[in-house]
Structure formats: structure tokens, C-alpha cells
Structure 1
């Protein structure tokens, strides 16, 4: 008699630290700090499983921390978000699944307590930690730390009765900097920077630029609410178009996340993340080895699904 055994381990663990702390309250002076940390680990192992399958283990670590200061008609909000995930499947080498580092800081001032409109200035920075590859090809990285890196600095107006739950931000003058500090990627013209110039013998006569600057319009919307009992939705939308380079071509960054609270300890997450950047062109390989033809930009989409155990510390 043949023996079939399935050994399946799915372990998902998430540590959450959420703390709203009032550090100092003097009249209308108030500091509020909130931090959340999470860790998900999943493992699947097969032994003599006739339906087939591949052993795998994955982990995802994330941190979200925010700090808010409010005094009379002045409000200052800052936050940091970081995510890093890896996956190991069968005999394959370790692969990266998530890699993100983002810093946001906004300062706003309103003329009185009756209005919900703020004159605001905003700083936003994004990059990643480690090299990215077009798997299974590991010979050539397609991204690195600060390749790319994105910087937004601008001023405008922001509307929101409760800015932590709902806000609309409009900036008619926002600087966008795209940084590619890896020279090989810069020479290839990755992420919209000016590519290197070569002669007929393919000798480089001018290095690729490491930065691209733009000045344009930025519109953002952030929304968070409980749509049904124990079902929460978070929406973040960013639209940007440059005045000088192809005005009207809009860069889109749209993320929607649903959090399903099963009970005090179990939570599920379903999310969608859509990106479009007209400056990031795609390349198509030709019949000639190492010769590529540049194509237009494409819509980028990422879907997220996770189930885990939560714990408040």
C-alpha cells in the first residue's frame, strides 16, 4: 500500500503595536503618536503528495509610524512606512516580494477654527532597500536603493474636517525629482532619466544623468472609514502632471486596502495598488541578442491578500 502524506504548515503571525499617546497638552497644544508593526510568516511543505506541489516559505515585515502636532490653527503630520517581504520556493533562491520605504511630512495652517481649509506644504520621499530583478534572471538588476528614488516638495491647499480620516490636497506648484544613483541604470535611461550617449563603436562619450526634475500639479486624496461592521477601507490616490514635459500625461498612484476584522485577534487584508508613470518606458527584446526596442509606458498593478493573527501591545 502506498503511503501519501501531506504536511502543511501555514503560520501567519502579525505583531501590532498601536499607541495613541498624548505627550503634552497645554490648552490647544497636543502631540499624538501612533505606531504599528507587523510580521507575517507562511510555510507550505509537501511529502509524497500525488497532486504535486512545491515547498515554500515567505515572510513580510512592515512598520507604520506617525506623529501629529496641533496647536490652535497649526497642524503638522509626519509618517514613515516601510515594507519588506521575501519568498523561498522549492530549490529556487530567495526572492524579494515587497520592498518599500516612504516618508511623508505635511504642515498646514488655517485662518480660524470655523474653516476646514488649510494652507499646506508637503514633503514626500520614496525609495527601496535592495536590488530588484526580473526573475528568474539575476544577472542584471532592474532597480536598486535610490534607483529609483522619488522626491516631491510643494505647496497648496488641503481640505478636511478630520485630516486623519479624510483629506483632499491640491498643489499647483510641486517639484518632482527622480533619482537614479546607479550609473548602469542611469546609462540605460531607466525611470525617465536622460540615457548615456554612445558612438558607433558603442563607446560611452557621455554618461547618463542621475536625476530628472519636473515641476507640475499634484492632487492627492486620502480616505479611511468603516464601511460595514468590522470592515475598514483605506484609499490613497495621487495624480501628478508636469507643466513642461507632456502636460496632460498624468502619473497615477492609487492604493485601496480593505481590512476585515474577524475578531480581536484575527484580521484579513485585501488590497490593490495601481501605478502609471509615462516616463517609465518598457523594452521589448528583438531577434538580435542584447538589442531591445523601446515601447510605451504600461499600467502597473499589484494585488495583496493576507490573513494573520493580530496582537495589541
Structure 2
């Protein structure tokens, strides 16, 4: 019995000491900057001589950058999700926004502002896309993971401050997935033959993110990337640019203007452009180290 009481006393004392002992706060090395948005638009007509069609639309999105930085270690994560629809009288519902963009990059400092790094990235969309403004009766041209792009590579990251990050990967694998059987045709997204579900490429990938504060409550985020395939036609660069102009009206209301430019020879031999403008609810998170 004495031994049992002695053991119990030791356990209680140990627990009390553990509760009194300061615990290091590892969360102080994390920073989270993000925004959740919900944009709405609506137009109604009644006996309007100028003409027009009643319509209502919405767009929801989440954009997060979650970073960990301690000593010589740098770990950056990006989560970009967005989806939107517009319903027009006598035309029906059409998709206006659809994006899934996830990436992670870990670096170990090798000199001032430079890191040896490696990372992964995934890009695709939520729902099918169709010709003629995403009309479900038209020909399907895309779907979830059709295409889907998975990248994995190693290289170097340059980060002189919180507003600019550049990553150069001279060794980068890129897989294009077409998991929708209706779209597995020769030539679609670079597929080599009928029935193929993926395409492998290996080359150079460069990415950069630059944040600019234009004035109080007005920021511009620029993201760009370039990929060159060593294995076939390295001169056919895959180029993309995304710009987001965020104009904060008050704590909960913001106006967003986005611009996307892209060129990918395997998708279409022309420059692709998408632009959106919206005003709505925006909930911002800014928890820095």
C-alpha cells in the first residue's frame, strides 16, 4: 500500500511540475494571410425598352498563404479555391469561375535570402466545362482532373522580404492528367494517343509572387509562372499570369478585380484571357509571426 501511495505521489508531482513548466509556443513561427469572399450580382428588367435579360450570379472563393519560418527553415503553402455561376433568363446557368490551385514548397537557407527548396503543386477545376459559354448541351471540353496538373521538383527559392518570392526549379516533373474518358483523345492536352489518361513532362519551372500596396486598403497581388519541357519542344513555353486587385471598402466589404492570362500549346494555340469584377463580402485573416 505504501508503495502504491508513493507511486501515486510521484505521478501527481510530475503532473503538477509539467503544468507549471513553461511550454514553448511553436505557433509563433507560423503566419496565415487569407481571404474568404462571396460576390453577388443581380439585374432585373420590366418593360425596359433598351432590352436585357434578368440574371443573378454569385462567386465564392478562398485564398490562403500559410507559411512557417524558423531559423534556416522556410515552408510556404498556398490554397486557392474559387467557384461561381450566373443564371440568365431563357439561357440557364453558366459557370463563371472554377479553380483549384494547391501548392507547397519547403526550403533550407543556403545564403542570404536564398534557399535550396523542393515542392509540389496541383491545379485543376471542380466541374465540367463546355463550349459556347459552358452550355451543358454543347461539347464538353474539360472536367475535374481533366486536365489536372501535378508538378514536383527541386531547385532554389529567393525570398528577400514578405512581399516577394521567386522559385526556380531546373529539375521539375509535370504530369497532365485527363481522367474523364470522354476527353481522352489524341492531341487533347498533349495526349499521345487515344485512350491515354496522362502525359509526363520534365523541364524547368519558374514561379514568382509579388505583392504591392498601391495605397491604403488597395493591394495588388501578382503571380506568374513559366514552364519549359526538356523532352519535347522546349521552346513552347507554358506561361501564366494572375493579378488580383483588392480594394477594401470596410472591414467586411471589398471589391475584387482579377485578370488571368495563359498560354499552353497543348491546350489551345492562342492566348487565354479571363477577367472578373465583383463587390461583396470579404472576410480577411492576417495572423503574422
CA shift in 2, pair 1:182/1:77, >3 Å = same
Check the 8 A contact 1:29/1:72 in 2, yes or no. no
Where structure 1 has 5 or more consecutive residues not aligned to the other structure, the ranges are 1-23, 197-207, 282-296
Within 5 A, what are the aligned runs for 1:171-250?
171-196=169-194, 208-250=195-237
Measured after TM superposition, the shift of residue 55 of structure 1 is 0.1
Measured after TM superposition, the shift of residue 94 of structure 1 is 1.0
- Normalised by the length of structure 2, the TM-score is 0.84
CA separation in 1, counterparts of 2:248 and 2:28?
33
Superposed CA RMSD in Å reads 2.1
Partner residue, 2:274: 302
CA separation in 2, counterparts of 1:222 and 1:264?
25
CA shift in 2, pair 1:36/1:127, >3 Å = same
CA separation in 2, counterparts of 1:221 and 1:110?
18
Within 5 A, what are the aligned runs for 1:32-181?
32-111=31-110, 115-135=112-132, 136=135, 138-162=137-161, 164-181=162-179
State the secondary structure of the residue aligned to 1:235.
Answer: strand
Measured after TM superposition, the shift of residue 25 of structure 1 is 3.0
The number of equivalent residue pairs is 261
CA separation in 1, counterparts of 2:108 and 2:66?
17
Q: Deviations over 1:144-175 (max 9, x none)?
A: 1110000111111111122x410111111110
- The structure whose Rg is larger is 2
Check the 8 A contact 2:239/2:262 in 1, yes or no. yes
Measured after TM superposition, the shift of residue 29 of structure 1 is 6.3
Where structure 2 has 5 or more consecutive residues not aligned to the other structure, the ranges are 1-23
Bigger RCO (CA 8 Å, 6+ sep): 2
- Normalised by the length of structure 1, the TM-score is 0.78
Q: Deviations over 1:26-74 (max 9, x none)?
A: 5x96123344211111111111112111100001010123322222110
